[in-house]
Amino acid sequence: MEAHHIIKKPLLSEKVTFQTEDSNRYAFQVAVTARKDEIKQAIEDLYKVDVIKINTVTHRTRNRRMRYGMVKGKTTKKAIVRIKENQRIELI
């Protein structure tokens, strides 16, 4: 997979913003099938930074009852990426 297919979008929330200021961590929504080594390579290619560590979280939304039966919730994957000190990613 190419880098822009692996990294879908950066996540910008209050919690992520505080982590960015304190410990140089950034959060991205990534493809559900992406592995940690693929995510690391994609971040390094797109943003030209050195990745130290990656944590991933897979989340599935709840099932919903519709007129025609139960509908499965979407599955998403979030990657929290820690980069080297004195390096920044400009997201905006």
Please say if the pLDDT value at position 7 is more than 90. Answer: yes
Task: Assign a CATH topology to domain 3-83.
Answer: Alpha-Beta Plaits (3.30.70)
Cα 84 to Cα 50: distance, rounded to the nearest angstrom: 6
Please say if the pLDDT value at position 32 is more than 90. Answer: yes
Cα 68 to Cα 79: distance, rounded to the nearest angstrom: 34
Helix locations, 1-92, DSSP H: 3-6, 14-23, 36-47
Cα 58 to Cα 45: distance, rounded to the nearest angstrom: 23
Q: What 3-state class would DSSP assign to 44?
A: helix
The residues spanned by each domain of the chain are: 3-83
pTM for this prediction? 0.85
- How confident is the model over 39-90, as pLDDT tens digits? 999 999 999 999 999 999 999 999 999 999 999 999 999 999 999 989 988 8
